[in-house]
Structure 1
Amino acid sequence: MAVEEFAMPDLGEGLTEAELVSWQVAEGDTVELNQTIAEVETAKALVQVPSPFEGTVARLHVEEGTTVSVGTTILSVRTSADDDAPAADDAAGSTTDAPAAPTGPGADGAPAAGDADQSGAPARTAVLVGYGPPVEGGARPRRRERAASWSARHGGAAALAGGRHPGGAGGQTRVGAVHALSGERPRSYPPVRKLAHDLGVDLAGVVGTGPAGLVTREDVLASTRGTDRTDAGAPSSAPAGPREERIPVTGVRKHTAAAMVASAFTAPHATEFLTVDVTATSELLARLAADRRLAGHRIGVLAFVAKAMTVALRAHPTLNARWDEAAGEIVQYRYVNLGIAAATPRGLVVPNVKDADRMDLVELADALRDLAERARAGATPPAEMSGGTISITNIGVFGIDAGTPILVPGEAAILALGAVRRRPWEHHGEVALRDVMTLSLSFDHRLVDGEQASRFLRDLGDVLADPGRLVTLV
């Protein structure tokens, strides 16, 4: 019987670390070749990691929420499944630095599965705190229950294992309390952690009502109403949380911060603004939306500006370029990989549409919609997160009129679209209510002169004021 160790793989794109978001297996599970064993969040995408072995999971070396360097062992697998094999820690050769556990026939100081305790009550599976549900026929505990015991065996509130929580009902687990005592990160999915952060809720003080104490969206919302949930589901007074919260900088947030600092202090930024009467574009988009032949396609101002941008770059190639410091050259692209800044629960990402300049308006609109949906779902493939040549950020969807966007590293320009406002505006010598929008163009002044940026921005503004001008740029 051999124990194979699986290290955090090199996920490409020059990444050296990733956050282990969730385990899809637990100790004792049987895994097949290429079965998904974990989800990890890199600086660019959420990635499913397949198993290179088949056998039985002997040990999980890393807890969920941990940032792991490439090459670090995260999983041990017994390549010959054997329910009578030694415990995972023994198989991995690790017998030191483990806290003393209460004595008893069970692995965590609890009665062994399938046996009865001294009171004659049915045996129960050992969980992080107290005892879980009775085991029928000696069946293995569920994945989440087995995963919970990982923390107990590796230093997380091990002293509490095997004892009932005084406030528990029916012997259920008070995982939230354990996290508060041990400092262990509460079990919850990334969207729930994002919701808690936005609402100012400390997850360490929230009792999870999901499987094995998982903190759910409803638990977070309940805590904001001044109530928490007990094990039996009855409301109780919410504990006062700390006045401050420290949030580890990992994944997308860490990558974005590093990239923005590098961009801001490497490329000399300059930003220009242009406010445009876009009433004609609004009217055109309304007609396209009413066209039955385009049913199922959503063509908005972002798609129209993106199309105009890809066409205008033919006359202004200096904005579709990068600065090659090592070679002392300016590299001008003859294609457009159009990046779109997308706000997601994981942070800001800028995936790009490959060869956007080869698409017509409908194709580009569909591509932008699909790209945004994948980004929000955390399903953007790494290939879409690299290789961009120029980008757009639509700050208008947040009701913002203008801004000074920071360049995506390696790109010469980024355009910010402001909100479309109905305002009094001069039109044919009179004041009328018109649709007005501000364009903000940031550019790398090493590659792009002020005149070049101004002409490019003016061409875009002219197309938005009169969409028919787009044909003159083709």
Structure 2
Amino acid sequence: MTASTANAQRFREFKMPDVGEGLTEAEILKWYVKPGDTVTDGQVVCEVETAKAAVELPIPYDGVVHELNFGEGVTVDVGTVIISVDTDPGAGPAAAPAAQQAPQEAAASEAEEAEPQGRQAVLVGYGAAPSSTKRRARKTQAAVPAQPEPASAALQAELNGRAAPAPAIIPAAPAAAPVAPVANGAGAGPAGRPLAKPPVRKLAKDLGIDLAAIAPTGPDGIITREDVHAAAAPAVTVSPAAPAEAAVPVSAPAAAPEPGVVDAAARERRVPVKGVRKATAQAMVHSAFTAPHVTEFITVDVTRTMKLVQELKQDPDMAGLRVNPLLLVAKAFLVAIKRHPEVNASWDEARQEIVYKDYVNLGIAAATPRGLIVPNIKDAGVKTLPRLAEELGELVATAREGKTSPAAMSGGTVTITNVGVFGVDTGTPILNPGESAILAFGAVKLQPWVHKGKVKARQVTTLALSFDHRLIDGELGSKLLADIAAVLERPKRLITWG
């Protein structure tokens, strides 16, 4: 068995999985382990954020953590190795790959005569580089072109994914005029490819930095994260005729700002848009410009519904459950959909068909620290009020903890957004992509209202219904909204209509 085969069987690599539905990348939010930690099959090792939710990833191996290939805050493509585990830590040091064995044997005799120069750099995913320690070269009259050392050649070969080339034998050349060194020469291998770890290459790509233009500062000419960040920082220019201390940032104005003028850029913060916020932004833009939105409004007296909420809180069948106005708004929405099932549909653009659905997956828009998400209650239309209250409570609690799974946010048919909790009267909500309608529930306020021929203080709210006009015309949308309001005005209709 070759060394590479043995290592492959011993060191198991865990790749970033597709934890959603066709997602292509995820950001590593937090590592729960570090190299040297013992892990067991099924143990959660990290938390990642996809375009839909934050998800904890379990490791499928027993062993000791060998390497973490990416740090926290790094966005990694699906299918990329993020962690490796030594499944046989008692077997001793790993055998070197065949491509490194010859260079190691060649360097062994010199290593015996030279003092160790310190710990060698370890490239993530490639193991330790062979020692490059050597004796000081004697001074010669003629300049001899420097040859790649065996260790550096093997190291570069591994980064480039090919076998190390055999060192060429070049006769001494006559003395020549000195040649100006290349800025990044220390970090380039035989093929001219700069040495850098995969995460550093990813960082440079994200920042739009050319690795070939960076002067490496790491061991063995390796480009570090700090090198990339330094290259991305604002450059400085120095006039040829001016001393070095006269360097001025390129972005600085030619003249000093006038007294009292404040630099606006110094008081601005830029945050990359990614994860849930990025997905939400893309989805809302797509929805707003593909589905023709229509929004209708209705103001309704919900005094009786608010009384029913207080009564249900004392009902033994609802003990331990969260009972609030949103629960009865959700139930009223479901009853109205049952009376007008044609509203529960979706538009199939590819086939030019309307897909009518005999189930209602009721989405509840939830604001979280990572952005707005819309998990949904599956088959909400057939659930009893206590069961609906239980699942609604679980859905909200899970969303606030940031633990909502991608599956919980897929397959929604209609949505409720409760803007009233922020004291907002109403709004014009945008459809969740693929859904037919969204209901905005405004704040419930005590207002003067004509009740039984007299002006009285009543509890009033405003509802707003946005719907896809390709699926729901004005008449159907108006009937749906009117029925929701009718149930909330006289909640006994939950029984007569339900």
TM-score bracket, normalised by the shorter chain, equals 0.5 to 0.7
Distance 1:415 1:384 in 2: 19
**Which letter does structure 1 place at the counterpart of 2:122?**
D
The answer for the alignment partner of 1:57 in structure 2 is 65
The answer for the alignment partner of 1:464 in structure 2 is 488
Same amino acid, percent of matched pairs: 54
> Aligned pair 1:397/2:421, yes or no?
yes
Show the 5 A alignment for 1:80-119.
Answer: 80-82=88-90, 85=93, 89=122, 92-93=125-126
Distance 2:497 2:316 in 1: 28
Structure 1 residue runs without a partner (length 5+): 97-149, 162-177, 184-240
**Which letter does structure 2 place at the counterpart of 1:79?**
T
Distance 1:88 1:471 in 2: 73
Residue 52 of structure 1 aligns to a residue in which SS? coil
What displacement does 1:4 show?
Answer: 3.2
Q: Does the 8 Å contact 1:19/1:42 carry over to 2?
A: yes
The answer for the alignment partner of 1:32 in structure 2 is 40
Distance 1:182 1:16 in 2: 25
Residue 290 of structure 2 aligns to a residue in which SS? coil
**Which letter does structure 1 place at the counterpart of 2:326?**
L
Q: Does the 8 Å contact 2:446/2:457 carry over to 1?
A: yes
The answer for the alignment partner of 1:259 in structure 2 is 283
What displacement does 1:287 show?
Answer: 1.7
Q: Could you give the per-residue CA deviations for residues 133-157 of structure 1, whole angstroms, max 9, x where no partner exists?
A: xxxxxxxxxxxxxxxxx999x999x
> Aligned pair 1:279/2:312, yes or no?
no
The answer for the alignment partner of 2:456 in structure 1 is 432
Q: Does the 8 Å contact 2:295/2:466 carry over to 1?
A: yes
What displacement does 1:32 show?
Answer: 2.3
Show the 5 A alignment for 1:47-446.
Answer: 47-82=55-90, 85=93, 89=122, 92-93=125-126, 242-446=266-470
Q: Structure 2-normalised TM-score?
A: 0.64
Q: Does the 8 Å contact 1:344/1:375 carry over to 2?
A: yes
- Of 361-370 and 2-11, deviating more is 2-11
What displacement does 1:433 show?
Answer: 0.6
What displacement does 1:67 show?
Answer: 1.3
Relative to structure 1, the CA distance from residue 90 to residue 447 in structure 2 (aligned partners, 3 Å threshold; closer, same or farther) is: closer
> Aligned pair 1:8/2:16, yes or no?
yes
**Which letter does structure 2 place at the counterpart of 1:246?**
R
Distance 1:59 1:324 in 2: 46
Q: Does the 8 Å contact 1:323/1:331 carry over to 2?
A: yes
**Which letter does structure 1 place at the counterpart of 2:425?**
D
Relative to structure 1, the CA distance from residue 297 to residue 78 in structure 2 (aligned partners, 3 Å threshold; closer, same or farther) is: closer
**Which letter does structure 1 place at the counterpart of 2:355?**
V
Q: Does the 8 Å contact 2:69/2:124 carry over to 1?
A: no
Relative to structure 1, the CA distance from residue 95 to residue 80 in structure 2 (aligned partners, 3 Å threshold; closer, same or farther) is: closer
Distance 1:91 1:400 in 2: 51
What displacement does 1:78 show?
Answer: 2.8
Relative to structure 1, the CA distance from residue 293 to residue 361 in structure 2 (aligned partners, 3 Å threshold; closer, same or farther) is: closer
Distance 1:10 1:294 in 2: 39
Relative to structure 1, the CA distance from residue 83 to residue 344 in structure 2 (aligned partners, 3 Å threshold; closer, same or farther) is: farther
Q: Could you give the per-residue CA deviations for residues 270-328 of structure 1, whole angstroms, max 9, x where no partner exists?
A: 10000001111111112222334533222211111111111111221222110011121
What displacement does 1:92 show?
Answer: 3.4
Distance 2:428 2:80 in 1: 40
Distance 1:438 1:58 in 2: 58
What displacement does 1:469 show?
Answer: 2.2
What displacement does 1:88 show?
Answer: 8.8
Q: Does the 8 Å contact 1:39/1:47 carry over to 2?
A: yes
What displacement does 1:472 show?
Answer: 3.3
Distance 1:264 1:182 in 2: 38
Distance 2:324 2:124 in 1: 59
Q: Does the 8 Å contact 2:20/2:52 carry over to 1?
A: no
Relative to structure 1, the CA distance from residue 400 to residue 72 in structure 2 (aligned partners, 3 Å threshold; closer, same or farther) is: same
The answer for the alignment partner of 1:449 in structure 2 is 473
Residue 313 of structure 1 aligns to a residue in which SS? helix
The answer for the alignment partner of 2:194 in structure 1 is none
Distance 2:272 2:30 in 1: 16
> Aligned pair 1:18/2:26, yes or no?
yes
The answer for the alignment partner of 1:132 in structure 2 is none
Distance 2:388 2:413 in 1: 16
Larger radius of gyration: 2
Relative to structure 1, the CA distance from residue 442 to residue 39 in structure 2 (aligned partners, 3 Å threshold; closer, same or farther) is: same
The answer for the alignment partner of 2:53 in structure 1 is 45
Q: Does the 8 Å contact 2:364/2:375 carry over to 1?
A: yes
Residue 467 of structure 1 aligns to a residue in which SS? coil
**Which letter does structure 2 place at the counterpart of 1:322?**
S
Aligned residues: 346
Q: Does the 8 Å contact 1:336/1:390 carry over to 2?
A: yes
Distance 2:446 2:58 in 1: 52
Q: Could you give the per-residue CA deviations for residues 98-142 of structure 1, whole angstroms, max 9, x where no partner exists?
A: xxxxxxxxxxxxxxxxxxxxxxxxxxxxxxxxxxxxxxxxxxxxx
Q: Does the 8 Å contact 2:69/2:199 carry over to 1?
A: no
**Which letter does structure 2 place at the counterpart of 1:76?**
S
Distance 2:83 2:20 in 1: 20
Distance 1:32 1:291 in 2: 46
Q: Does the 8 Å contact 1:393/1:416 carry over to 2?
A: yes
What displacement does 1:84 show?
Answer: 5.8
The answer for the alignment partner of 2:189 in structure 1 is none
Q: Could you give the per-residue CA deviations for residues 323-369 of structure 1, whole angstroms, max 9, x where no partner exists?
A: 01112111111111110001111211100001111111121111101
**Which letter does structure 2 place at the counterpart of 1:335?**
Y
Structure 2 residue runs without a partner (length 5+): 1-5, 95-119, 130-197, 205-215, 220-224, 231-264
